[in-house]
Chain A
């Protein structure tokens, strides 16, 4: 995983994001990065899947760009993971809805994320599929290869595994500190 990147693998933005040159970020205008986020090679972020259904609360109409993907600070998107805003039929029309990711979220290689919300301090393993409109609360660990079914709500301090994903355990008190991704961010060189 910690592949030694050749010089210039990452582009560092003003807010400290490290974005791989080999990632595919589509619809950059609709993506918010909170800063200090690492986006590795072959990651796909679909900012172009915008909400077409008019929002009931006026957050879309405040000028500026509409948001398809909002990402917090110190997130880590490992190689070839895929972030797509979820979409569904609602009142006769199909629309995508924003994908929100809070702080300190680790997403393992080759995982597909179509969640509505991923809370802070969430660790998603490799080869996971997070179904449409899933809500993951803070301090959740999703083990490798899990398929989280659509619309599932994962409460805080859960360990989720299986196909379909179910809560298999609890995150204990001592593990809480381990979700901090600042050290991983620092370890990523240019």
Chain B
């Protein structure tokens, strides 16, 4: 209720092409589904679907080939550049493919509050000003300057102040080293070599030799378990079909070979499908046997520790849903949270979904903010601004808080961005859809807006003259008071703008009163006021037509072809629904 800013949302016509396929239950006003097929249907801004098709004019693009508004739903995004939002370094797409969509430098977010983390030394700064004191030695930690979290809390410290991503990948919470996938592979290879060289070697002997190596009963995290399992099954496949293993030994994708396929089929069909002749392959694939092969045995007591921790440390030690969402693996406790590497961001070009023409294309460099191509609706269709007609009365809190059943006038100002004179027709339903039917009258539904003259003229106009003119206007309003708004006449007109008056009789928000006063819908479901139902929204159908210089307009696109002759004036027409939020209805 505090503040209300009037708004004008434009409906993208792309939603029209989707048939309304399902009824949205009680929430869906009946009027929409029943009158949808009719050509003269009224757009209902309160329909559940309307939310998805209404945009402020600034968010819309305009395709010059289709001569149509394009919204975020009817454009295609094309990634131009990937970059880290923190260090603003561009990341080549090949790196994104191999390393994932996170910054691999030193950009991290706090796992507690998502504020950026900074690297600092845990050592106190040496006293004195000598050159030898300039460098601060490690170890280093990640600090959050917002919530004062530190990676020390999860027992993580770094040796170097840079390349934190690589360092963090090697440290578990608590400071234990993580065995990387590469080390695991090496270990596996070693083990394979050992077993193949001398199967008679005593198991304990082998273990002693590789004391620093892996424990078959270790508890793996999800990632290493997956990599272990994958490696195990790959080796199994290779062993089971040595012929295909020869050809595909280099790649990971040995599954596509006919041999492998028939063997997999054989696995599932109990061997009957497999080639009877290949007796050598009768050995079934075995399953993983220990942690090195990715097997994790769930013991009934494995969760006791977690339960104990929950009981002793309580709610405060558990991570919130939001915090869990940011983590790559499931984490239950705050102590298990890890710093979050910054997600990369993209610069994207936009294409029209229908004709594939580029509507917007930014410069590929991260630091530049210019656009190579930028076809925005703001430059192609008239913008609408809403102002109260009468000055604020004393005691009235806001001009946009309207009194029920009292006719209120608003000024709609249409500004023409085009270099041609445009004709505008606007239409509103006499009563707004919804449970509270507000009566709406546009006093001047048909008018012409002057052309937006070029920048030079504007530059000349700018400065004193412009202000003077503004002043004169306000003064005129002030002295004349409220000169009556006349039907069929524009209220005011400028170089490239026109103001018209729209009169609204807001409905009463009370549910009391005789039944004949109420709309059908109100009778049906009565009850309390729904969210934002007190906002006075007016659907307006706007039809704009103008004569465009065909040659001028087609200068960019080559598809014009036949109609490309210069001096040909081309008639253009554009029609769309808008929703004007003009105010809130006061409740008594």
**Which residues of A are interface residues toward B (Cβ below 8 A)?**
89, 91-92, 131-132, 137-139, 147, 149-158, 164, 166-167, 172-178, 186-187
Given A164-B113, A174-B60, A178-B58, does the pair A149, B376 have CB atoms closer than 8 Å? no
Pick from B129, B146, B371: contact of A173, CB below 8 A.
Answer: B371
Contact of B378 among A138, A149, A153, A177 (CB under 8 A): A177
Which B71-100 residues have C-beta < 8 A from chain A?
72, 83, 85-88
Q: Do residues A91 and B467 form an inter-chain contact, with CB atoms below 8 A?
A: no
Chain A CB within 8 A of B339 CB: no
- Evaluate contact between B114 and A157: CB separation under 8 angstroms: no
B88 touches A155 (CB 8 A): yes
Report which of B85, B378, B466, B467 forms a contact with A167, defined as CB distance below 8 A. B85
Bound form: Cα–Cα A78–B366 in Å: 31
Q: Does B134 contact A (CB under 8 A)?
A: yes
Q: What residue of chain A has the Cβ atom nearest to residue B350's Cβ?
A: A173
Q: Are A91 and B145 in contact (CB-based, < 8 A)?
A: no
Q: Is B59 an interface residue (CB 8 A)?
A: yes
Q: A132-B145, A139-B369, A175-B58 are in contact. Are A151 and B118 (CB under 8 A)?
A: yes
Tell me, yes or no, whether B439 is within 8 Å of chain A by CB: no
Q: Which of A138, A139, A154, A164 contacts B146 (CB 8 A)?
A: A164
A174-B369 in contact (CB<8A):
no
CB within 8 Å of A: which of B127-162? 127, 129, 133-134, 136, 144-147
CB < 8 Å neighbour of A150 from B145, B360, B366, B377: B145
Partner of B85, one of A151, A153, A164, A172: A153
Rounded to whole angstroms, the CA-CA distance of A132 and B60 in the bound complex is 36
B369 touches A172 (CB 8 A): no
Is the CB of B585 closer than 8 A to any CB of chain A? Answer: no
Question: Across the interface, do A131 and B61 meet the contact criterion of CB distance under 8 Å?
Answer: no
Q: Mark B148-191, 1 if CB is under 8 A from A, else 0.
A: 00000000000000000000000000000000000000000000
Question: What is the chain B residue whose CB lies nearest that of A89?
Answer: B125
Establish whether residues B376 and A153, one from each chain, have CB atoms under 8 Å apart when the complex forms.
no
Are B145's CB and A173's CB within 8 A?
Answer: no
Inter-chain contacts of B113 with A (CB < 8 A)? 149, 164
Is B57's beta carbon under 8 Å from chain A?
Answer: yes
| Cβ–Cβ < 8 Å partners of B133 in chain A | 91-92
Contact A149/B116 with A91-B134, A131-B146 known, Cβ cut-off 8 Å: yes
Is there contact, CB below 8 Å, between A186 and B125?
A: no
Q: Are B114 and A174 in contact (CB under 8 A)?
A: no
Chain A residue numbers with a CB within 8 Å of B134 are: 91
User: Hey, which chain B residues are within 8 Å of A154, CB to CB?
Assistant: 85
* Cβ distance A115 to chain B, nearest Cβ, rounded Å: 13
| Cβ-closest chain A residue relative to B129 | A92
Contacts of B61 in A (CB 8 A): 173-174
Most chain A beta carbons < 10 A, residue from B85, B87, B371: B85
CB distance from B340 to the nearest CB of A (A): 12
Selected from B58, B115, B118, the residue in CB contact (under 8 A) with A172 is B58
* Chain B residues whose C-beta falls within 8 Å of the C-beta of A150 in the assembled complex: 115, 145-146
In the bound complex, do residue A173 and residue B85 qualify as a contact, i.e. CB atoms below 8 Å apart? no
Q: Is B518 an interface residue (CB 8 A)?
A: no
B350, chain A: closest CB distance, angstroms: 8
Q: With the chains together, A75 CA to B366 CA distance in Å?
A: 24
Contacts of B129 in A (CB 8 A): 92
C-alpha spacing A147/B367, complex, angstroms: 24
Contact B116 A152 (CB under 8 A): yes
Residue pair A174, B378 in contact (C-beta under 8 Å): yes
Residue B374, interface by CB 8 Å: yes
Q: How far is the CA of A152 from the CA of B342 in the complex (A)?
A: 12
B332 interface contact, C-beta 8 A = no
The reply to whether A155 and B58 form a contact with Cβ atoms under 8 Å apart is no
Please give the distance in Å from A151's CB to the nearest CB on chain B.
5
The 8 residue pairs across chains A and B that have the minimum distance between CB atoms: A149-B115, A149-B146, A174-B58, A150-B145, A174-B376, A175-B58, A164-B115, A92-B125
Beyond A149-B116, A173-B360, is A155–B85 a contact (Cβ under 8 Å)?
Answer: yes
A153 to B342, CA, bound (A): 11
Known: A153-B88, A164-B115, A175-B58. 4 other contacts (CB 8 A): A149-B115, A151-B116, A155-B85, A178-B58
Task: Name B378's closest neighbour in chain A (CB-CB).
Answer: A174
Query: Does B345 sit within 8 A of A, measured CB to CB?
Result: yes
Q: Is the Cβ of B116 less than 8 Å from the Cβ of A155?
A: no
User: Do B376 and A173 touch across chains, with their CB atoms under 8 A apart?
Assistant: yes
Q: How far is the CA of A121 from the CA of B275 in the complex (A)?
A: 71
Complex Cα–Cα for A92 and B374 (A): 50
Complex interface: chain B residues within 8 A of A157 (CB): 369
- In the assembled complex, the Cα of A91 lies from the Cα of B134 at a distance in Å of 7
Q: A151-B118, A152-B116, A172-B59 are in contact. Are A186 and B467 (CB under 8 A)?
A: yes
Q: In chain B between 12 and 66, which residues have their CB closer than 8 angstroms to a CB of chain A?
A: 57-61
Docked-complex contact A164 and B127, CB < 8 angstroms: no
A50 to chain B, nearest CB (A): 20
The distance from the CB of B370 to the nearest CB of chain A, in whole angstroms, is 10
Which residues of chain A have C-beta atoms less than 8 A from B345's C-beta?
A: 155, 167
- Name the residue on B nearest A90 (C-beta): B125
B374: which A residues are within 8 A, CB to CB? 173, 176
Residue of A nearest to B361 (CB): A173
Question: Please, what's the 1-or-0 string for B448-485, where 1 marks a CB less than 8 Å from any CB in chain A?
Answer: 00000000000000110011001000000000000000
Bound complex: CA of A152 vs CA of B144, how far in Å?
10
Give the distance to chain B from A94, nearest Cβ to Cβ, in Å: 11
Give 25 A-B contacts (CB < 8 Å), ordered by A residue: A91-B133, A92-B129, A131-B145, A138-B369, A147-B146, A149-B115, A149-B145, A150-B115, A150-B145, A152-B115, A153-B86, A153-B87, A153-B88, A155-B83, A158-B85, A164-B147, A166-B114, A167-B345, A173-B350, A173-B371, A174-B58, A174-B60, A174-B376, A175-B58, A187-B467
Q: Which residue of A lies closest to B345 (CB)?
A: A155
A139 to B87, CA, bound (A): 17
Q: Write out the residue numbers on chain B whose beta carbons fall within 8 Å of the beta carbon of A92.
A: 125-127, 129, 133
Distance A125 CA – B87 CA, assembled complex (angstroms): 25
Q: How far is the CB of B93 from chain A (nearest CB, A)?
A: 18
Contact code string B93-110 (vs A, CB < 8 Å = 1, else 0) = 000000000000000000
A177 to B377, CA, bound (A): 12
Q: Which residues of chain A are within 8 angstroms of B360 by Cβ–Cβ distance?
A: 173
